Amino acid sequence: MNANTIALPLLAVLGASCHSTGRAGAPPSEQEMMQRWTAFATPGKAHEALAPHVGNWNVKVRMFMAPGAPPDESMGTSTMQWVMDGRYIQDTTTGTFNGQPFHGFGLSGYDNMKQVYVTTWIDNMGTGIIHGEGRYDARTKTFEFTAMMPDAMVAQTYVPSRSTETWSDADHYVVRNWSPGPDGKEFINMELEYSRAK
């Protein structure tokens, strides 16, 4: 059974469903549905901006527990690779946090339908899944993401956060993350310096 055999019945159901919810006009043909699906499923130019991530990285981590507090510093490593035939970057990170072993796993990609970069993250320091969306500025070589992050210690809910990822060259980039502090004002709570492992 090939992908088209699986996709066509699914697309027919989806197309009928869309039409039945009040969309004007005739439902798309099977050919049109397959063209749309192919456009959604095919990695494109936007995915190329993710390619420099592939490889092995050393990571210097600075965690700020409160505004103005000295950072907790540690080192980690990250391995990044393409998965799903060049559609997503898989990030496997190990290190320490507060003296405890840290393991994290992320996926990043570009959603052709939404036309935004998408990312998810899980690790052994929580039980939630972080979802983010963002854009890339080729002029500044910077990704910008927004997400809802868990604040289990103060707010005891998910709070808005934003992050930037800025590349200085092919072997170095810095990730910074901001979220609300105890007073509700945004502060930088994390900084990660990535250096490509030789």
Asked if 132 contacts 149 with a C-beta cutoff of 8 angstroms, the reply is: no
One domain for residues 127 and 83: yes
Mark whether 118 and 98 lie in a shared domain: yes
Structure tokens at 160: 């808005």
Q: What is the pTM of this model?
A: 0.86
Same domain, 22 and 59: no
Do 59 and 101 lie in one domain? The reply is yes
Q: How does strand 116-123 pair with strand 130-137?
A: antiparallel
| Residue span of the structural domain in which 27 resides | 3-41
Cα dihedral 136→89→77→52 (10° resolution): -50
CB-CB contact of 159 with 182 (8 Å): no
**Residue closest to 162 by CA, chosen among 138, 189, 196, 125:** 189
Same domain, residue pair 25 and 70 = no
Tell me: do 37 and 99 sit in the same domain: no
Best CA proximity match to 109, nearest among 50, 45, 170: 50
Are 85 and 125 within one domain? Answer: yes
Same domain membership, residue 114 and residue 23: no
- Tell me how far apart the alpha carbons of residues 162 and 123 are, in angstroms, rounded to a whole number: 18
* Residues 16, 103 share a domain: no
Do 169 and 134 lie in a common domain?
yes
Give CA separation, 2 vs 5, 9, 15, in Å: 5, 12, 20
Domain with residue 156: its CATH number is 2.40.128.20
3-class DSSP state of 171: coil
Tokens of 24: 């004007």
Domain count, the chain: 2
Query: In a structure prediction context, what are the per-residue pLDDT tens digits for the chain, which is 198 residues long?
Result: 444 444 444 444 445 445 444 456 889 999 999 999 999 999 999 999 999 999 999 999 999 988 989 999 999 999 999 999 999 999 999 999 888 999 999 999 999 999 999 999 999 999 999 999 999 999 999 999 999 999 888 778 999 999 999 999 999 999 999 999 888 899 999 999 999 998
Same domain, 31 and 66: no
Residue type, 108: S
Q: Are 92 and 179 in a shared domain? A: yes
